[in-house]
Amino acid sequence: MNAIISASDLANDLTGANPPVLLDVRWQLTAAKAAGEPPYDGRADYETGHLPGAVYVDLDRELASAPGEGGRHPLPDLAHFGAAMRRAGVSSGTPVVVYDGGQGWAAARAWWMLRWTGHPDVRVLDGGLPAWEGPLEKSVPTPAEGDFVPEPGPTGLLDADAAAELARSGVLLDARAGERYRGEVEPIDPVAGHIPGAVSAPTTENVRADGRYLPAQELRERFKGLGVSEGSRVGVYCGSGVSAAHEVLALAVAGIPAELYVGSWSGWSSDPDRPVAVGPDPQ
């Protein structure tokens, strides 16, 4: 099953016998929020117009728990996450399509959470809301309660120790902007740099200018150039486990399984005993 879906294919599926549940996960990490000013309001944007039948999902409250030692977007309590998904109408036997405002990061976090906890059929709308050419609606739906119960799989999730080991034995990709990886700037977290051994792989290079993913073959070539070979164990981190989920999705499009370090740099850099590398070299 492909991890992404085009707007035209989604429009067709919505008229089919088993239409997908739609989740709207509009979210932004803005400089204003980092500076303590009022954050972006995804729900307000949702209420101005969303795909028909879509239910809003709050990334900060339903796809993550409160910031702390585990980073800025630690895993949510799974009972809380499951209840939020059931309220949105998510059932194990019903396909799910997730979208956001176009950047793709938040939708990928929802995709990853559902896939990691056992949902068998989740896709992301390629290009997000800007790719949709159909009608929008403002009314807030009240879907029938779903039956999805999250059951995390044995793989797919890294902690800090596992990420450090993978940087030595496999391929650990850093999905942040190159200047953050090199330690030249750090607008959010207390320490600049990267996990020793990690390879710089900005997630922005996985997509076209319109936010849609590159073709699978181009993505395979990109990751091959970053050191991913057949059979490689691959992990990804970013600032707080959101844009890294977008890169895990890009790897899935390329047919490459990958694991996510949810704590990411915000979790790693909060521990003064963790080593930090700077500059363009992984080490």
**Residues tagged active-site:** 238
One-letter amino acid at 46 equals: Y
Kindly report the CA angle at 92 between 91 and 94, in degrees rounded to 5? 65
CB 84 within 8 A of CB 59: no
| Angstrom distance (rounded) from CA 115 to CA 210 | 25
| Angstrom distance (rounded) from CA 267 to CA 238 | 10
| Angstrom distance (rounded) from CA 2 to CA 115 | 13
The residue to which tokens 């009314």 are assigned? 139
- What are the DSSP E strand ranges found in the chain? 4-5, 21-24, 55-56, 96-99, 122-125, 157-158, 171-174, 199-200, 234-237, 259-261
Half-sphere exposure of 228 (CA within 13 A, CB side): 23
